[in-house]
Amino acid sequence: MGKQKEDGWGDVVRLNDPEQRERLARVEEAMRGRLAGAKIPRAVVLAAVVGKGLEVVERELGIARKR
């Protein structure tokens, strides 16, 4: 099991849903296209997706984003 940070969130996330993996691969490809084919670490792709997703979920739940 991966080492966990002090905040309780581990560093390893497993994506068992093949559809989610395919969707992330398409996002990765589109991001690379915008950067002239540059290699993008998957962690960067996931961080972008999680960041945007958090904005949507926070808005839906009425949670103000901490600055």
Q: What is the pLDDT of residue 12?
A: 80
Please write the tens of the pLDDT for every residue from 2-29: 555 567 777 787 889 999 999 999 999 9
Contacts of 24 (CB under 8 A, 6+ apart): 15, 42, 45, 46, 49
Q: Give the global pTM.
A: 0.71
The pLDDT value recorded for residue 11 is: 78
CB contact burial 35-49 (16+ within 10 A = b; e otherwise) = eeeeebeeeebeeee
Asked if 26 and 51 count as a contact pair (C-beta separation under 8 A), the reply is no
> What are the tens digits of pLDDT across the range 26-50?
999 999 999 998 999 999 999 999 9
Q: Which ranges constitute the DSSP H helices of 1-67?
A: 18-34, 42-61
pLDDT band at 65 (very low <50, low <70, confident <90, very high): confident
